[in-house]
Amino acid sequence: MKPSPKSEKKRQRELKLREKVKAELIFEQLEGSGHVYCTACRKLPDWRGIDLSHIVALSQGGKTTKENTLLLCRDCHEKKHHIGG
């Protein structure tokens, strides 16, 4: 079933917002420490290995803001969501 134009627009806005917030957080880390790092384990993956993770999930009323998100490496993000294990 194809999503409605309204829900597709909302999804596209959310994806753009996530890109913006992720870029802002990466920029702040680079400006502060010179590195992009996982806020959980402090690993230094390149920026492609960093995921934006919500502290309070969108499904639980959380918002995509710098205050409600963390930069996590893929391993920590998967552990947070118990993916694959």
Instruction: Provide the CATH topology of domain 5-80.
Output: DNA Binding (I), subunit A (1.10.30)
Q: What does the block give as tokens for 29?
A: 């880390």
Give the C-alpha separation, 12 to 39, whole Å: 27
Give the C-alpha separation, 7 to 40, whole Å: 33
Give the C-alpha separation, 35 to 25, whole Å: 11
Task: Specify the pLDDT at position 85.
Answer: 46
Task: Quickly state the pLDDT bin for 84 (edges 50, 70, 90).
Answer: low
Residue 39: helix, strand or coil by DSSP? coil
Task: Specify the pLDDT at position 45.
Answer: 85
Average pLDDT (30-56) is 91
Task: Specify the pLDDT at position 58.
Answer: 93
More confident residue, 82 or 71: 71
Task: Specify the pLDDT at position 48.
Answer: 80
Task: Quickly state the pLDDT bin for 32 (edges 50, 70, 90).
Answer: very high
Is the separation of the CB atoms in 12 and 33 below 8 Å? Answer: no
Averaged pLDDT of the chain: 91
Compute CA distances 6 → 10, 13, 71, whole Å.
Answer: 6, 11, 29
